[in-house]
Structures are given as C-alpha cells and as structure tokens.
Amino acid sequence: MAKAKKLDPAQQKIIIRKVLKAIAKYRFLVFLSLLFAAVSVLFTLYLPIQVGDAIDRIVGKNNVDFEFILRKLTEIGIVVTLTALCQWLMNIINNRITYQVIRDLRQEAFKKLNILPLKTIDAHPTGEVVSRVIADVDQFADGLLMGFTQLFTGIVTILGTLVFMLTVNIAITLVVVLLTPLSLFVAKFIASRTHSMFKAQAEARAAQTSLVDEMVGNQKVVQAFCHEEEAEKTFDTINEQLRSSSLKATFFSSLTNPCTRFINSLVYAGVGLTGALVAIRGGITVGGLSCFLTYANQYTKPFNEISGVITELQNALVCAGRIFELIEEPPQVPDKKNAKVLTNPEGRVEIKDVAFRYLPEKPLIKRLNLSVTPGQRVAIVGPTGCGKTTLINLLMRFYDVDEGSISVEGSDIRQVTRASLRKSFGMVLQDTWLKSGTIRENIVMGKPDATDAEVIAAAKASHAHGFITRLPDGYNTKIGEDGGALSQGQKQLLCITRVMLCLPPMLILDEATSSIDTRTEVKIQEAFAKLMQGRTSFIVAHRLSTIKNADVILVMKDGDIIEQGKHEELLAKGGFYSSLYQSQFAG
C-alpha cells in the first residue's frame, strides 16, 4: 500500500469548511449547545469561589461560622445540580447534532451512489465504498461528538477561568499564562505528526474491508481453486499494515495526554509555590489560594482535553475527507431539461458510427453500425472481450458512446430520459441479482402494483412456479442477500420471471439461460420465443444452438461486426461464425 499523504493546511481548511457547512443547518441546536456549555462552565467556575469563602470562615481558632458555612453548602448543592443539568442537556443536544449530521452524510453518500456513472463504480472496490459509507462515517462521528462535547466546553472554560483568575490575583495569573504555551506547543507538535498516520490507518482499514467483502462474496470460487492460503497471505499482509499504522497512530496520539498532564503539573506547582509566597505576605487569603489552585487546575485541564480532541479530530478529518470525496464524485450526466420520454416504443434501434473505449489508450468498439427493425431478433456472438456486453451497456446507457449515436424510435438516447429508456428494455443477465426479501418482492421489482394472478402467470411462463410452490412459504418465502440458499439456476429463473411480468417492448438477454439445465432451457426458450414475438430482442449467447432462429446474427470481433446474417447464411460462408459453430459441434 502506498504511504498515506499528509493533507496540507489548505486541504484541511477546505474539509473543515465542508464539515461546518454540514453542521450549519442545525445552527439553533449548536447555539443551545454553546449556551449550556457556557452556563455549565460559569457554574463550575463559581463553585471554587463558594468553597474559598467557606474555607476563610474556618481559618483560625474558634473562628468557624457554621451558619455561613451551611448557607454556602446549600448554594454549592444548588450550583452542582444546575451544572449537572446543563451538562446533561448539552450532551443530549451534542448527540442529536452529531447523529443527524452523519445521517445526512450517509443519505448524501447513498444518494450519490445511485447517480454515479458505472465507470466510477467499476473503478473502486466494493469494500472500499462500503468502508467509506460505514466505517469512515462512524470514525467521523466519534471525532465530531468529542469535538462538540469537549472542544467547545474546553475553550469556554479556558476563557472563563482566565477572567476569574485575573479578578483574584493578577501576579499569579501571569505565572499560569506564561507556562500555558508549553502545553500548546506539545499538543501541536504531536497533532501535526499524527494526521498522516490516521490517514494510513483509514486506507488500510478500507483495503481490509474490500478484501473481506471480495473473499466472502466469492467463497465458492476461492475454495474451488484452492486459493485459501493465498487469500490468507494477502489478508495477513493488509492486516499487518493495519496493525502497524494503527499502533503508530494510537501511540503518537496517546503521547498527548501524559505530555500535557506533565505540563499541567508544572503549572499547578508554579501556582502553588507563587501563591504560598503571596499568602505569606498577606497578598491573598487561604481560601483565595485554595480557589486559585482550583482555577489553575481547571484552566490547564481543558488544554489536556483539547489536545486529545485535536488528535481525534485529525482522524475525523481524514475520514470526513474520504466521505466528501465520495459525495463530490462527478455524477452521471443528468437528463437534459427537454429530454424526451419514450412512450410505447415499437423497438426500432439505429446504431451509427459508434466508437467507445473504457480506457483512453485502448479502443474497444470502432465505427459500429447497425439497424434493427421493430420485432427483430438480433443475436450477438463472438469471442470473450469482443464487445458484446459493452454493446448492451451502451444500449441501456450505462455508458455513453464516445463517438457516433444510438437512436431508439428515431431519438438519440442521449436526448431521452434514462428512466423511460430503461423501462423500455427488459434485461436478463448471466449475473443474477436478488435483494433480501420475499420471492414475490423480488419478482415485482419492475412492476410493484402487479396482482398475485399476474405474478403466478409470469412464474409459470418462466417455469419458476414449480420450485417456488415447493418453498416453505411459497411466494412469501424470505430469501437472503443475492438469493440466499437458492441455486444459481433458480435465481436466474426468478430474474427471467421479472421480465415475463413486465413484458417490455424490447428485450436484452445476456446469457440468460447459462445456469439452467438443458431440459428447462428448452422450455424457457419456448417461453422466450412467445415473449419475443413482436418485440425487438438482443440476445448475447455463447451457446450457438440457442440463437439459430434469430432474424439476424451479428458476429463481433475486436469491437467490430465482421459478419452479419442468418444462421444458415453464415454457415454457408464458412467464415468466423462457421468456425465458432463447428468448434462447438465438431463431435
């Protein structure tokens, strides 16, 4: 893993401004938090004065004013109760601000994920994205909550204590003020060196999350290829990086507390010595000295807390930066204001001089031309990597073409709303996707208002009704993420059922029956044949026996259509398609 780069002050200021902007909508709660913090600090600072007055009434023989002391104890009890109440209310408000802010950030992040272009999603491991939305937001919340709870209170305590000390004795106050910069210097020295360590920790944690997500999601493949040891080695390497970066970050950040406490002890000793000398000369009472010592302790304590908060805020800023990076990723090009809504398309598709590349230096599709009439069944075949699935991605506008145009019903799809374009296509892929929920909820995803009769009819058409009725709760059986315990073939049948239910005017079948047994495949092909009647269909297949009846077969190689025609015509030519077909049926 590359060494984490430290954010420069300008970048930190940008992130802080973004954090403040996220908090700004809760400015009233922030005001209340600051108000309760100020009140609780004032009560806390008023308490030593009461104690000092009480001490002065017990100094000397037979000089105890019990009536005065009892009154002071009552006042002290009231002040302590009010202080506790203000701190309790402040903590409630701080928690409310923090968790509302992180709720907003997670909502923004998830909303952005839904509008990010597919190329951005493809460029980042799934685990890293999950780490940003979950782990990084949690780390940011911890730092933000600590900032609210201790930073504001600490600053008000320092300022308030300084004012109270100046009213008691200016000379002793100067001793405190002169020694304070030592604590600030130590805190700044440590904080400036921990930021890059926390950044390395966050990146290692994201890499670990990504690897775990990848290995758990593909455990069958890992075991099938005996990749366990290699996966463990990779995990151990990343885990060691996380251990090392976490230890360094924790070690250096934990130096803050003992170092600042040492400085605080020096300040306290200086106040005690100076105050004792002043008291001997009669410049301050015993109660006043006791009050001053308490103030000196209260004055230095926030520096210790703030220095600890600063190191936590360094980690929070790193995590916040990663969150904002995700939120600020450029979204997909939005639909134009005057974008057309496709209504009742017949299925006429025109591809003119289309060029496309995933990477700038690697052209994939070059000057592709195709004209598809309504109801035509178009099969796309060719070796792996020739651009078959890419063509489907372009038709669905998951990616935009680099050159040329794709038109549906005479309208460039870039001038059409994405929602209406994608609703016009029914798509069944080789890679299935099912969400956690019931069988019925997965089927009606494209048509939420479907009746039970429509759902059952679609399931019968796809030959999924039989295995669904054998499940414990039939159509109300709950399945886990990505289908749970269902077989790959059963998952694919459910995905086919979705399309059967929606009956869109155009179909895309990308290896739609690759995980289904031959006998069921024959039945589904019959169902597809009925479904495709009158509908424009694009069929991607490796098993050439499934596309014999296509109206036109496009043979792709290196991003170009090198042959085009019906099955018999292409076989008669004895070209590339013929060699592909013969390689599958040579026996």
Residue 513 within any structural domain of the chain: no
Shared domain for 319 and 349, answered yes or no, is no
Per DSSP, the three-state class of 508 is strand
Q: What is the DSSP string of 396-451?
A: TTSS--SEEEEEETTEEGGGB-HHHHHHTEEEE-SS----SEEHHHHHGGG-TT--
Shared domain for 167 and 236, answered yes or no, is yes
Instruction: Render pLDDT for 561-577 as a digit per residue (tens, 0 to 9).
Output: 888 888 888 888 888 88
Shared domain for 37 and 166, answered yes or no, is yes
Q: What is the mean pLDDT of the chain?
A: 81
Instruction: Render pLDDT for 25-69 as a digit per residue (tens, 0 to 9).
Output: 888 988 888 888 888 888 888 887 777 777 777 766 667 777 888
Looking at this protein, which amino acid is placed at residue 231? A
For residue 145, what pLDDT is reported? 74
Instruction: Render pLDDT for 227-247 as a digit per residue (tens, 0 to 9).
Output: 888 888 888 998 988 888 888
Shared domain for 142 and 216, answered yes or no, is yes
Shared domain for 313 and 368, answered yes or no, is no
Which residue segment(s) compose the domain that 366 sits in? 333-424+535-587
Shared domain for 252 and 341, answered yes or no, is no
Q: How far is CA 502 from CA 24, 183, 444, 445, 447, in A?
A: 45, 69, 8, 9, 6
Residue 479 within any structural domain of the chain: no
Task: Give CA–CA dist 511/544, Å, rounded.
Answer: 11
Listed residues 263, 295, 327: the one ending a domain? 327
Listed residues 327, 358, 384: the one ending a domain? 327
Listed residues 311, 327, 343: the one ending a domain? 327
Instruction: Render pLDDT for 459-510 as a digit per residue (tens, 0 to 9).
Output: 988 888 988 999 888 999 998 877 777 887 788 888 888 888 888 888 888 8
Q: What is the DSSP string of 337-352?
A: TTPBPP-S----EEEE
Shared domain for 79 and 161, answered yes or no, is yes
For residue 206, what pLDDT is reported? 81
For residue 4, what pLDDT is reported? 39
- Number of domains present in the structure of the chain: 2
Shared domain for 233 and 378, answered yes or no, is no
Residue 360 within any structural domain of the chain: yes
Residue 501 within any structural domain of the chain: no
CATH number at residue 377: 3.40.50.300
Query: How does residue 97 score in pLDDT terms, banded at 50, 70 and 90?
Result: confident
Shared domain for 194 and 92, answered yes or no, is yes
Q: Give the sheet arrangement for strand 506-510, strand by strand.
A: 425-428, 506-510, 536-540, 377-381, 552-557, 560-565
Query: What pTM value is reported for the model?
Result: 0.65
Shared domain for 339 and 313, answered yes or no, is no
Of 538, 536, 545, the C-alpha closest to 581 is: 545
Residue 78 within any structural domain of the chain: yes
Per DSSP, the three-state class of 149 is helix
Residue 457 within any structural domain of the chain: no
CATH number at residue 269: 1.20.1560.10
Instruction: Render pLDDT for 376-419 as a digit per residue (tens, 0 to 9).
Output: 888 888 887 777 888 888 888 888 888 889 999 888 999 999 88
Shared domain for 41 and 115, answered yes or no, is yes
For residue 508, what pLDDT is reported? 86
For residue 85, what pLDDT is reported? 94
Shared domain for 226 and 350, answered yes or no, is no
Residue 355 within any structural domain of the chain: yes
Most confident of 86-100, 122-136, 159-173: 86-100
Residue 35 contacts residue 86 (beta carbons within 8 Å)? no
Residue 16 within any structural domain of the chain: no
For residue 133, what pLDDT is reported? 86
Q: What is the DSSP string of 241-305?
A: HHHHHHHHHHHHHHTHHHHHHHHHHHHHHHHHHHHHHHHHTTSS-HHHHHHHHHHHHHHHHHHHH
Q: Where are the alpha helices (DSSP H) in 116-218?
A: 118-122, 126-131, 137-146, 152-168, 170-217
Residue 198 contacts residue 314 (beta carbons within 8 Å)? yes
